[in-house]
Amino acid sequence: MTTDQLQNRPVALVTGATRGIGRAIAADLGRTHHVLVGGRSADAVDALVQELPSAAPFVGDLGAGEVPALPDRLDVLVHSAGVEQGTTVADTPRAVWEQVFATNVFAVAELTRLALPALRAARGIVVPINSGSGFHSGPGGGVYAASKFALRAFADALREEERANGVRVSSVHPGRTDSDMQRQLVAKLGESYDTDYYLAPEDVAAAVRTVVDLPERGTVESLAIRPTRRR
């Protein structure tokens, strides 16, 4: 591929791109897009930038309000950064609620707000990576689920607000996916970890690719993807 072809690629920003689902999405979009690799660790971001055909770093702690400068052109914004913390309502202090919502909701809202002028100009797409917990909550998972319910509400509102501006909003809700976050969650719940019953990060990336590649006259408003096998 020539330098001119690389420079003329559409631009995709992927947050949480240095591991797990975010990394798989960045790698997949990297086949066709110039990828802004989002992450908190400059070393981890730079390592992935070097692996992609066309990429640049986007380093900052979004949950702490650190938003790097955005490009004038932005075709795709994938919100994959997220945290899972907290236990039961009785045992989770306010500070944990605030930390989870800062990353999973407030950072998403602020980055989207700042990116909207470029997204409108490109008639682009916003893809919040949600969760099955954005539909259902259970014991010990209330903090994470509440943040994902809020993220779903945010996406639903944004979709309708920006419909006339040509900006599409597609919520992607993966089920259990093999990742560091999933391992931490399973350990917290005291369950066994068996990847036969989990999605691979590349499966979620394939779903995001489907959403992004749909012609702009249509929108996949909400997409749930679950492991085929269940215990």
4 contact partners, CB below 8 Å, separation of at least 6? none
CB 116 within 8 A of CB 58: no
Please list, residue by residue across 133-164, b when 16 or more beta carbons sit within 10 angstroms of its beta carbon and e when fewer do: bbeeeeebbbbbbbbbbbbbebbeebbeebee
Query: What's the distance, Cα to Cα, between the start and end of the chain in Å?
Result: 45
CA distances from 217 to 34, 135, 161, 168, 220 (A): 23, 27, 16, 9, 11
Establish whether 198 is a catalytic residue: no
Q: Which of 144, 193, 197, 198 is catalytic?
A: 144
Q: Which of 202, 136, 214, 206 is nearest to 170 (CA)?
A: 214
* Catalytically active residues, by annotation: 144
